[in-house]
Chain A
Amino acid sequence: MARAVSTNRKIGFTVAAWVVALLIFFPILYTIITSFKSETEAIAGFSLIPSGTLESYAEVQAQSNYFKFFLNSVIIAVGSTILALVVAVPAAWSMAFSPTKRTKDILMWMLSTKMMPAVAVLVPIYLIFRDTNLLDTRIGLTVMLMLINLPIVVWMLYTYFREIPGEILEAARMDGATLWGEIVYVLTPMAVPGIASTMLLNIILAWNEAFWTIRLTTTNAAPLTAFIASFSSPQGLFWAKLSAASTLAIAPILIMGWFSQRQLVRGLTFGAVK
């Protein structure tokens, strides 16, 4: 009897999980479907069956060079992630292994900056970028995205490092390891899964960032988010073209996410279950 109840429950949970997953995924699915429609089909009304035309993709590529935006996205997302790790690894390290009375406060303060609406600092940031000639530059955007994602990177790494027992580091010290030896032979190999998860998540966050990328770029450094936005023009909304552009923009990150989903889930739920 108990077994039957638990089986019913399992089926119920599976169905509920599928419904929720489909609801969440539906906008992306409909975007992909719409990208294979003509403009006439796209505005005709709700339909899940496209004609399968590739004309929107051809027009999008003819109108703007996808690969230029793609390259900018890659440079900005990967660059800001590497830069964030360079800053965050030592920060998280010192907070995890030599905490002071203020460590928790500093962590909370860092996180609190994420709660502030970005638009509140838009004008000062824009002016700084303008005066330092960083507007529409890859380097400017890389630094900007590094800064806005830094609190999350530090938090994630801090959580990972906290899971490494301090006694292991002390054992390495007793075994004659210098600070360098400790980092290279003991700490890094143990923290690699955590660093990899953090990297993946940060690449996704940076790839999807639209607020700053659209406002601080025009043509030279514009990534794929700006590429999508450029199809929402004053001449009107072209749904099929917009969908094709969106599909092209999210495809790389969707593929990367698909292949690294196990690592990502582990990274996001690390330390959550005790």
Chain B
Amino acid sequence: MGNIVLNKVSKSFGATTIIPEIDLEIEDGEFVVFVGPSGCGKSTLLRLIAGLEDTSSGKINIDGRDVTGEAPAKRRLAMVFQSYALYPHMTVYKNIAFPLKMAGEDAAVIDRKVKDAARVLNLTNYLERRPGQLSGGQRQRVAIGRAIVRQPSAFLFDEPLSNLDAALRGTMRLEISELHHQLKTTMIYVTHDQVEAMTMADKIVVLNAGNIEQVGSPMELYKTPKNLFVAGFIGSPKMNLINGTAAAKHGATTIGVRPEHLGISTTAGEWKATVGVAEHLGSDTFLHVHADDVGPLTVRADGEIGVHHGETIFLTPSPPKIHRFGTDGRAM
């Protein structure tokens, strides 16, 4: 089990409100990602669920039990920290065994569970090493191992991959997703990287200044962003947001068109544009153009496209893919 319900939960530090009242339900077995820019309150929200911070108001229920005032250890949650937070004076074996030891488990049970976890995480050959002798990826695995041996109701991940290099981040992303499929346990994952959110989540919670802007599956957020913030935050490269007469023509204050939804022609189209920088990535080419009366736009084109700096092209947004936003920034 791992059903988590937040009911009117808020958090303030003195006069500063970090999280205004929010409601959120996380179902058992879901992989939920909290995503948002730095300082949006996503880590604070995770720490409130973990019990590392006290709520200012509201209730937190885990599996139908009110845990609002309970100590972190009693919530049956496991957490993987950004800095790994491994115990530097203990070997990998002892690090992974620590939560079991604290739970008063039998030595034989501890040994079996630690070795099982080590096998799953490819750490068997490193059990006698100390964290200082491991690479970043291995440390991360130890932190995950320490979390899984407890068989918690839910796993909490606080930006666990941000200290790794890009290649390792990709590998670990897959490993964590695979682990979720294997364990089928609720996972709450905090990140500022929307690519991580899109690729890993069953459900994404987009946060901005402590408020939940939208909750939904990755494709829901991608296809139907509720407001300008979500539209601009989800998707890579970012959605083109256009104001002025070009938007008014479509009956909106702002229109949004994703870079992949702009048709390119060298002869005719809705907007005439001059190519600035063309980024050739092999499979795709990102064109950074300046369109007359519209402004700067990013266009996702075929990798083979033969367009160069300074050339004139014509762009036409695909009508069903145009997102329209009103004066209040909400989707129309």
Residues of A within 8 A of B (CB): 165, 167-168, 170-178, 181, 185-186, 189-190
Q: Which 10 A-B pairs have the closest CB atoms?
A: A171-B85, A176-B102, A175-B99, A176-B73, A167-B85, A189-B89, A174-B79, A167-B81, A173-B72, A168-B85
Contact between B72 and A174, CB atoms less than 8 A apart: yes
Chain B residues with CB below 8 A from A168, complex form = 85-88
* A167 proximity list for chain B (CB < 8 A): 81-83, 85
A174-B77 in contact given A181-B102, A190-B88, A190-B89 (Cβ < 8 Å): yes
Given A165-B83, A167-B81, A174-B50 contact (CB < 8 Å): yes
For A176, give its contact among B52, B88, B89, B103 (CB under 8 Å): B103
B71 within 8 A of A: yes
Query: Which residues in A have their C-beta under 8 angstroms from that of B72?
Result: 170, 173-174
- B102 contacts A170, C-beta separation under 8 Å: no
**CB pair A175 B98 closer than 8 Å:** yes
CA distance A171 to B103 in the complex (A): 14
Q: Which residue of B lies closest to A177 (CB)?
A: B102
- A186 CB to closest chain B CB (Å) equals 6
Chain A residues touching B, majority SS: helix
> Does B139 lie at the interface of the complex (its beta carbon under 8 Å from any beta carbon of A)?
no
How far does the alpha carbon of A175 sit from the alpha carbon of B156 in the complex, in Å? 12
Residues of A within 8 A of B82 (CB): 167
A170 in contact with B71 given A176-B99, A189-B89, A190-B89 (CB within 8 Å)? no
User: A103 to chain B: closest CB distance in Å?
Assistant: 16
Chain A's closest residue to B79 (CB) is A174
Residues in A whose Cβ lies below 8 Å from that of B87: 168, 171-172, 185-186, 190
The number of chain B residues with a CB under 8 A from chain A is 23
- Interface contacts beyond A168-B88, A175-B98: sample of 9 additional A-B pairs, CB < 8 Å, sorted by A: A170-B85, A171-B85, A172-B87, A173-B71, A174-B77, A174-B79, A175-B99, A176-B102, A176-B103
In the bound assembly, the distance between CA atoms of A177 and B83 in angstroms comes to 19
Interface residues of B (CB under 8 A from A): 50, 52, 71-73, 77-79, 81-83, 85-89, 98-99, 101-103, 146, 150
The CA-CA distance from A173 to B81 in the complex, in Å, is 13
Q: How far is B82's CA from A170's CA once the two chains are assembled, in angstroms? A: 12
Q: How far is the CA of A174 from the CA of B146 in the complex (A)?
A: 10
Q: How far is the CA of A118 from the CA of B150 in the complex (A)?
A: 57
Query: Are the C-beta atoms of B73 and A177 separated by less than 8 Å?
Result: yes
Given contacts A190-B88, A190-B89, contact A175 B81 (CB under 8 A): no
Q: Give, as a whole number of angstroms, the nearest-CB distance from A177 to chain B.
A: 5
Q: Which residues of A contact B99 (CB under 8 A)?
A: 175-176
User: Bound complex: CA of A170 vs CA of B88, how far in Å?
Assistant: 14
Contact flag A185-B81 (CB < 8 Å), given A176-B73, A177-B73, A190-B89: no
Q: Name the residue of chain A whose CB is nearest to the CB of B156.
A: A174
B147 to chain A, nearest CB (A): 9
A176 / chain B contacts, CB cutoff of 8 Å: 73, 99, 102-103, 150
B103 nearest CB across to chain A (Å): 6
A176 to B86, CA, bound (A): 15
Bound together, the chains give a CA A177 to CA B82 distance in angstroms of: 20
- Bound together, the chains give a CA A171 to CA B81 distance in angstroms of 8
Q: Do A185 and B79 touch (CB < 8 A)?
A: no
In the complex the two chains form, is A175's CB within 8 Å of B89's CB?
no
Q: How far is the CA of A38 from the CA of B73 in the complex (A)?
A: 72
In the complex, what residues of A have CB within 8 A of residue B102's CB?
A: 175-178, 181
Q: Are A171 and B73 in contact (CB under 8 A)?
A: no
Report whether B73 and A170 are in contact in the complex, using a CB–CB cutoff of 8 Å. no
In the assembled complex, 17 residue pairs joining A and B whose CB atoms fall closer than 8 Å, in A order, are A165-B83, A168-B87, A168-B88, A170-B52, A170-B79, A171-B146, A173-B52, A173-B73, A174-B52, A174-B77, A175-B78, A178-B102, A181-B102, A185-B98, A185-B101, A190-B87, A190-B88
* Chain B residue nearest in CB terms to A182: B102
